[in-house]
Amino acid sequence: MKRGLALFLAALLTALTLTACGGGYAGGNTASSAPAASESQTSYDYGASGGGENWKSADMEFGFDSPADAAAPEEAPAGTGGETENRLANAKMVYTASVEAETQDYDACTAALEKLVEDLGGYLEYASMGSYGDGSRSANYTVRVPAARFSGFLESVGELSHVTSRDRSADNISELYYDTESRLSTQKTKMERLQMLLAKAENMEDIIDLENAIAETELQIEQLTGSLRHYDALVDFATVEIRLREVIRLSTVEEAPPTFGSRLGNAFADGLHGFGDFLQDLAIFLAYNWTWLLILALILLAVVKLSKRAQARRGETFRQARERRDGFFNRKKKDEPKNPDDKQL
């Protein structure tokens, strides 16, 4: 009985493996081969015949149009054998973006930004706020918004603040998603068959082996189900990182002026603005660190006084040594005879 059950289980696992490999993943191979979205993307639709002869080019701005916003595919020409497949219709796209922005009205901008996220049906996954030594404030957000409103949200952020840089990307996880979905379906089928075998088993050893196999299969089902939920969350809600800073004057990006005089005038004006900003920053720095600067000044004053005293003592010692030396030579000269002939006597 045990040997027959083992052979049956081996045959069952082999059949399930062949089924998973041959069946591919749900949604067909066309979904997994969908091109990854980029800043400029063109999607191609093939005819149902799969020969690639009937191609339809659908330009999508930046490649960030969600399936809900994409236009419906055109009707397939006669002789194609069915409806035209849209490669991005079943694609699982993960949209992300990173935005750096400035504002002169920090309180109003942050309040409007948080309200915008709420109105779009999104939520704040992470938020932190801080301040700098010059008194300006900053905020960092990780925002989750519905993928269908991803582009609109970025445009609205540009209206609420002054965007200095923005990066966005789209990742196609169709192959990974549908492969996980296929593995989950296989594990569920395996679970049903194991439960059928457990209901018919009579030997205690066979029952224990089947229960162990069922426990392992349940663990696989839970892990695969969790992975699919995670992928669904990434696909349904786009992720946007926002770094917002409060500034006195917004940075500008202007085209080069056509004449030398205009360029020189702009450079002179920018130089004055930069010098004014430097003086303001210096005044704020001195006001913020005046206690440490006072302590440092007192230490330097004490060092200078000690140095002068040490120098004065060295000068006095040198003067006394020179006087003793001069006195010694003067006494020696007095003892020597003034007439050379006196030395011979």
- Chain segment 122-172, per-residue pLDDT in tens: 999 999 999 887 778 999 999 999 999 999 999 999 999 999 999 999 999
* 336: enclosing H helix or E strand: none
Distance CA 163, CA 141 (A): 15
Distance CA 296, CA 206 (A): 84
Residue 60 is predicted with a pLDDT of: 37
pLDDT band at 319 (very low <50, low <70, confident <90, very high): confident
Residue 7 is predicted with a pLDDT of: 54
Residue 260 is predicted with a pLDDT of: 76
pLDDT above 60: residue 105:
yes
pLDDT above 80: residue 59:
no
Residue 237 is predicted with a pLDDT of: 94
Range with the poorest average pLDDT among 33-42, 175-184, 335-344: 33-42
Residue in 167, 169, 149, 165 with CA at minimum distance from that of residue 244? 165
Query: Strand ranges (DSSP E) for 176-293?
Result: 237-246
Higher pLDDT, 342 or 175: 175
* Whole-structure pTM value: 0.53
CA geometry: angle at 165 spanning 164 and 167, to 5°?
A: 160
Cβ atoms 64, 170 nearer than 8 A:
yes
Label residue 254 left, alpha or beta by phi (over 0 means left) and psi (-120 to 50 means alpha).
Answer: beta
Residue 214 is predicted with a pLDDT of: 93
CB hemisphere CA count around 159 (13 angstroms): 8
Residue 4 is predicted with a pLDDT of: 54
pLDDT band at 226 (very low <50, low <70, confident <90, very high): very high
Residue in 148, 29, 167 with CA at minimum distance from that of residue 85? 29
Residue 55 is predicted with a pLDDT of: 33
Averaged pLDDT for residues 194-221: 92
Higher pLDDT, 15 or 37: 15
pLDDT above 90: residue 285:
no
Averaged pLDDT for residues 53-63: 36
pLDDT above 60: residue 43:
no
